[in-house]
A and B are shown apart, each in its own frame.
Chain A
Amino acid sequence: MSLFTLGLARGLFGQVLGMVVGMLLTCGVRILLGWEAWAAEPAWTVGSVCSIIGFLLAVGALDDWLQWTKGVATPIHHGPPVDKPAWTRYFSVDYNHKVIGVQYTVWGILLLMVGGTVAMIFRTELARSGLQFLGLDLYNSFIGMHGMIMIFAILLGVGGMANYLVPLMIGAEDMAFPRLNALGFWFNVPGSVLLLVSIFIGGWDAGWTAYPPLSARGPIGYQLFFLGVFAIGLSSIVGSLNLLVTLLRMRPAGMSLFRMPIFCWAVFATSLIQLTATQLIGTSFLMVSVQRALGMGFFDPRGILGEVSPMVGGGDPVLFQHLFWFYSHPAVYIFVLPGLGIVSELLPVFSRKPLFGYKWIALSSMAIAIVGFIVWGHHMFVSGYNDILRIPFMYATLLVAIPTGVKFFSWLGTMWGGKIHFDTPMLFVLGAISVFLIGGLTGPILATVPTDLPLHDSYFVVGHFHATMFGGFVFPFFAALYYWFPKVTGRMYNETLGKIHFYIMTPAFWVQTLGQMGVGVMGMRRRIADYDPTLGQGQIENWQLAVTIAGFAIAFGVMLMLWNFFQNAEVGVAAGDNPWRSRSPEWQIPSPIPEHSFPAPLHVVGEPYDYGLADSGYVTTASPGDD
């Protein structure tokens, strides 16, 4: 078996080849036009586009479609590859949603580790004032990298959970479009490779938001960054399209929308945002990219009339912020809605009680998704746009607190009077609620114009943001990993190690987020490598050190979790089919799940969350008339 048996290795080789071909193509065209053959920026830009195509061709994600253009039918091959070891399917194009879900999750965790490592590096730098070992440019590239890699990681984590769970929860054999599903995953690999490579050709030192004019004049790394984000964005769009069609057309008999497992509602709302808003980050980044490559002055304020009327015909960097935040604010709801869906999904299982207010939770996800489209301007209170716009954006933003509050109270209602089992997944759910509460309560402070103005661009924002991301994604994601680990592997993780992970990570995160907010109030700015040690009556260094130590503690906790999973995936105690006594369809079939999941179409015979109600079921594979 050679290395190229693995699609991943073939793909990466194809990516390098594509890059070289793209660069040669650029040189060739320039020679034909009579220009100097080599110019770094166009060569890297065209090379990056070709490298993504090269990867997809080499990995084989486009094979079937290329056959279809020739009129050749390509039935889907089910099961592991015939002439290769079974494990290789995880490293190659495979159309089974369970394999793709694992691919998404593992690639997401890998990026989580890269992004975390980068954070550890600059957190170490920040533990003391003054510059120790990072230069200013590298520091800026690193914080931008931490931001964008973590966003990739979260999108991959969301994709992993959604792809693995949604078909199982609605009793479908697979997603509606299995080939598109695989393509959606494989877009992420060349995208993240471009992002990581860009650090070696100058990085992108204006941060992950890539505001022009800085990004329009920054290093070439920005072109790779834009195209990397483009690839991930394509993955988001085709992935969400697939999930929406699956949810709308493949539910079994009797599963009305309000009888789906609640996680499906969260995915539905998330997919609506991903499908539409993602286009706008692509558009805005493409505009900066062509401004750099072709001199198209979308965001270049220099006008065309010279001294007569200097502004006419000039671009406007504020337009970029509008387009960018039109995606990037709803993006945080893409991150948190599935996480909050996991919280709602797990609470009834571990409280042994029905989910309190099912319809309200389902509709609150939709409400957050819809309101999320009209709040982007709260990122721009100090951008210099028309002052009048501040008011509607402020009220719209505060409106988000209502559906979020609905979720909180229904979680409390679910736990109230329940027989709560404090297993590791439940602990992480409770951790998620506590952390998301911190993020939620600091939200209105930043949404309100008078309090946002002094706090804007301070570490207070960083603290708030990390609380929402950890409470809305990281904690629920970890809960989901622990909860479905026995389903995916058929083995149980080590409960003690899981609990140690929780008890290290949760207090550490409280220290981190509150510490970040604290140094922010003392006057610490975002995206600056150094700070004045006399801030906060000379206490800021101690706070920064505490945040750094807390960050390392979180990293240690994550390592513990991965060690736990790694140890037990093959040799752990057999978990049984339904260790959590869940009613959800995926727990009614063997672990690990067979190739085709369900032996026969499902029939819904009851409500999804009637825990504690004797003789009630949710789904059955037998037809109602059987026996």
Chain B
Amino acid sequence: MTVTAVEHGHEPGHAADDHHDSGETDLPTYLENTRRNRLGMWLFFASEAFLFLGLLVTRFYLWRGPHGEIVRPELDQFAGLVVTAVLLLSSYFMNRAEVSIANGKRTDFQISLLLTAFLGTAFLIGVVVWEWGMFPSLVKGHLKPTDGVFGAVVFGMTGMHALHVLSGVILILNVWWLGRKGHFSAERHWGVEACAIYWHYVDLVWIFFYPAIYLIGSTIDIPH
């Protein structure tokens, strides 16, 4: 079997290079690459699930009362409810953005992305200003990070989640900006899809975090 080095060009299976929506590759290659990207994205979610599970385990391991019962600190229930609602609503607009680009409705796509980013930012502000009390002149927070395991876990869980929301908002704004420049089409919008499933995933994590932090267990007073 004699072999020489050959430049392969772009036949399917060899052009593993194009993970973006440049429109340079032919459609079969683009679809195969998108299948790989999608699998990679879901494996990334599987990996991240262990991070969030670790935090949930920490919460249930550490938040125990004097008799070993499950407890939680008294937090602002209204704040928790509002930010949760805002985040869930944002997922609707993210989905609308993805469906719009798949149907070629660019205006809807752009508006929905902006709304998602706006709601995501509102969630972040809600957590940082309202729940954390980072700006005591505006809202006085309920807990400090140094308040034993209650402060540690609340700030640990919401902080790790907020980092993901922040990265999601940055991604959404980037996709919005690229969309404005004319990128993405009904056939080729892996970038939008990746952004959308990431956003839904971050949302899903909050669906587990919210009851763990705000709802489960009896409240315990924390002296200041």
Chain B contacts for A444, CB-based, 8 A:
none
Q: Which residues of B contact A590 (CB under 8 A)?
A: 3
Q: Are A245 and B54 closer than 8 Å at their CB atoms?
A: no
A595 to B14, CA, bound (A): 12
Would A315 and B147 be within 8 Å (CB), given that A173-B8, A248-B39 are in contact?
no
Q: A69-B174, A71-B183, A78-B7 are in contact. Are A309 and B43 (CB under 8 A)?
A: no
Within 8 A of B (CB), among A46-98: 68-69, 71, 73-76, 78
User: Closest Cβ of chain B: how far from A226's Cβ, in Å?
Assistant: 15
Q: Within 8 Å of chain A (Cβ to Cβ): is B138?
A: no
B40 with A296: CB separation less than 8 A = no
The residues in A between 231 and 257 inclusive whose CB is less than 8 angstroms from any CB of B are: 237, 241-242, 244-245, 248-250
Taking the closest CB of chain B, its distance from the CB of A523, in whole angstroms, is 35
> When A and B form their complex, what is the total count of cross-chain residue pairs whose Cβ atoms lie within 8 Å?
168
Given the contacts A71-B178, A250-B13, A596-B5, A304 and B51 also touching, CB distance less than 8 Å: no
Complex CA–CA separation, A297 to B18 (angstroms):
45
Picked from B17, B36, B55, B149, the residue with its CB within 8 Å of the CB of A76 is B17
Check if B3 sits within 8 Å of A594, measured CB to CB.
Answer: yes
User: Are B223's CB and A304's CB within 8 A?
Assistant: yes
Q: How far, in whole Å, are A596 and B16 apart by their CA atoms in the complex?
A: 12
Judged by a CB distance under 8 angstroms, whether B128 is at the interface is: no
Contact with A along B14-25 (1 / 0, CB 8 A): 101111101010
Q: Is B148 positioned at the interface, with any CB of A under 8 Å from its CB?
A: yes
User: For A322, what are the chain B residues with a Cβ–Cβ distance below 8 Å?
Assistant: 57, 61
Whether the Cβ atoms of A176 and B40 lie closer than 8 Å is yes
Q: Are A312 and B48 in contact (CB under 8 A)?
A: no
Residues of A within 8 A of B148 (CB): 297, 302-304, 312-315
Contact status of A275 and B43, CB under 8 A, knowing A314-B149, A595-B5? yes
* Contact flag A178-B16 (CB < 8 Å), given A242-B40, A244-B43, A304-B150: yes
* Interface positions of B from 145 to 196, Cβ below 8 Å from A: 145-153, 155-156, 174, 178, 181, 183
Compute how far the CA of A250 lies from the CA of B39 in the bound complex, rounded to whole angstroms: 12
Residue with the highest number of chain B CB atoms closer than 10 Å, among A177, A237, A313, A594: A313
Instruction: Establish whether residues B16 and A176, one from each chain, have CB atoms under 8 Å apart when the complex forms.
Output: yes
Please tell me the size bucket of the interface on A: 35 or more
Contact B7 A596, beta carbon cutoff 8 Å: yes
Cross-interface CB contact of B20 among A68, A176, A180, A241, cutoff 8 Å:
A68
- How far, in angstroms, from A179 to B33 measured CA to CA in the complex? 14
Knowing A248-B39, A298-B156 are in contact, say whether A304-B222 is a contact too (CB < 8 A).
yes
- For A179, what are the chain B residues with a Cβ–Cβ distance below 8 Å? 19
The answer to whether B152 and A315 have CB atoms under 8 Å apart is yes
Please tell me if B35 contacts chain A, counting CB pairs below 8 Å: yes
Beyond A173-B14, A588-B1, A596-B6, whether A297 also contacts B50 by CB under 8 A is no
Given A244-B43, A304-B148, A305-B223; A296-B156 close (CB under 8 Å):
yes
What is the CA–CA distance of A313 and B20 in the complex, to the nearest angstrom?
Answer: 48
Contact residues in B for A621 (Cβ distance below 8 Å): 1, 3
Is B104 among interface residues, defined by CB-CB distance under 8 A? no
Nearest chain B CB to A241 CB, angstrom units: 5
Partner of A178, one of B6, B17, B44: B17
Contact A176 B150 (CB under 8 A): no
Min CB distance, B17 to chain A, in Å?
4
Contact stretch, chosen from A283-291, A422-430, A478-486: A283-291
Residues from chain A with Cβ under 8 Å of B35 in the complex: 249
B77 contacts chain A at the CB level, 8 A cutoff: no
- Does B89 make an interface contact (CB < 8 A)? no
Give B173 Cβ to nearest chain A Cβ, in Å. 10
For B179, the closest partner residue in chain A by CB is: A71
What is the CA–CA distance of A323 and B53 in the complex, to the nearest angstrom? Answer: 11
Is B13's CB under 8 angstroms from A287's CB?
no
- Contacting residues, chain B, for A275 (C-beta < 8 A): 43, 46-47
Which residues of B have CB within 8 Å of A250?
13, 16, 36
Bound form: Cα–Cα A279–B44 in Å: 11
Judge if B66 is at the interface, Cβ distance under 8 Å: yes
B4 CB–A CB distance under 8 Å: yes
The minimal Cβ–Cβ distance linking A162 to chain B, given in whole angstroms, is: 15
- Does chain A have a CB within 8 A of B58? yes
**Is B115 located at the chain interface by the 8 A CB criterion?**
no
Q: B18 touches which one: A75, A249, A294, A599 (CB < 8 A)?
A: A75
- Residues of chain A within 8 A of B61, CB atoms compared: 316, 319, 322
A314 to chain B, nearest CB (A): 6
Instruction: Check if A589 is an interface residue, CB within 8 A of chain B.
Output: yes
Contact flags (1/0) for A310-344 with B, using CB distance below 8 Å? 01111110010011001000000000000000000
Say if the beta carbon of B220 comes within 8 Å of chain A: yes
Pair B62/A316 contact, Cβ less than 8 Å? yes
> B43–A313 contact, CB under 8 A?
no
> Contact between B17 and A245 (Cβ–Cβ < 8 Å)?
no
Tell yes or no: B28 within 8 A of A by CB.
no
Of A241, A316, A599, the residue contacting B40 (CB under 8 A) is A241
Q: Is the CB of A315 within 8 A of B43?
A: no
* B65–A315 touching, CB < 8 Å: no
Q: How far is the CA of A174 from the CA of B17 in the complex (A)?
A: 9
Query: What per-residue 1/0 map shows which CB atoms of A261-295 lie under 8 Å from chain B?
Result: 00000000000000111111011100100110011
Residues in A whose Cβ lies below 8 Å from that of B65: 312
Contacts of A326 in B (CB 8 A): 54
Chain B 56-72 interface 0/1 with A at a Cβ cutoff of 8 Å (1 = within): 01100110111000000
**Across-interface contacts of A199 in B (CB, < 8 A):** none
| A599/B3 in contact, CB under 8 A | yes
Scoring B8, B51, B54 by chain A CB atoms within 10 A of each residue's CB, the highest score goes to B54
Give complex CA distance A283, B47 in Å.
12
Establish whether residues A279 and B50, one from each chain, have CB atoms under 8 Å apart when the complex forms: yes
Contact: A241 with B43, CB < 8 Å?
A: yes
Contact B20 A276 (CB under 8 A): no
CA distance A313 to B16 in the complex (A): 52
Q: Which residues of the other chain, A, contact B155 by a CB distance below 8 angstroms?
A: 294, 296
How long is the Cα–Cα vector from A180 to B16 in the complex, in angstroms? 12
Q: Indicate whether A315 sits within 8 Å of B62 (C-beta atoms), given known contacts A237-B47, A245-B43.
A: yes
CA distance A589 to B35 in the complex (A): 29
CA distance A588 to B35 in the complex (A): 30
Which one, B18, B44, B47, B58, contacts A323 given CB within 8 A? B58
Chain A hits for B51, CB < 8 A: 279-280, 282-283
Q: Kindly state the separation between the CA atoms of A298 and B63 in the bound complex, as whole angstroms.
A: 11
* Contact A296 B36, beta carbon cutoff 8 Å: no
Closest to A242 in B: B40
Asked whether A296 and B54 contact (CB < 8 A) given A176-B40, A315-B62, the answer is no
Closest to A248 in B: B39
**CB-based nearest B residue for A280:** B54
- Distance between Cα atoms of A583 and B43 in the complex (Å): 32
| Distance between Cα atoms of A465 and B65 in the complex (Å) | 40
In the complex the two chains form, is A312's CB within 8 Å of B66's CB?
yes
- Bound-state CA distance A68–B37 (Å) is 15
Residues of chain B within 8 A of A596, CB atoms compared: 5-8, 14
In the complex, A298→B39 CA distance in Å? 35
Q: Give the residue name and chain of the A residue nearest to B146 (CB).
A: A295
**Besides A68-B20, A589-B3, A621-B1, 6 other CB < 8 A contacts?**
A73-B18, A172-B16, A249-B35, A298-B58, A313-B149, A594-B3
Which B residues are within 8 Å of any A CB, using their own CB? Answer: 1, 3-8, 13-14, 16-20, 22, 24, 32, 35-36, 39-40, 43-44, 46-51, 54-55, 57-58, 61-62, 64-66, 145-153, 155-156, 174, 178, 181, 183, 220, 222-223
6 contacts between A and B (CB under 8 A): A176-B40, A279-B47, A302-B148, A313-B149, A588-B1, A599-B4
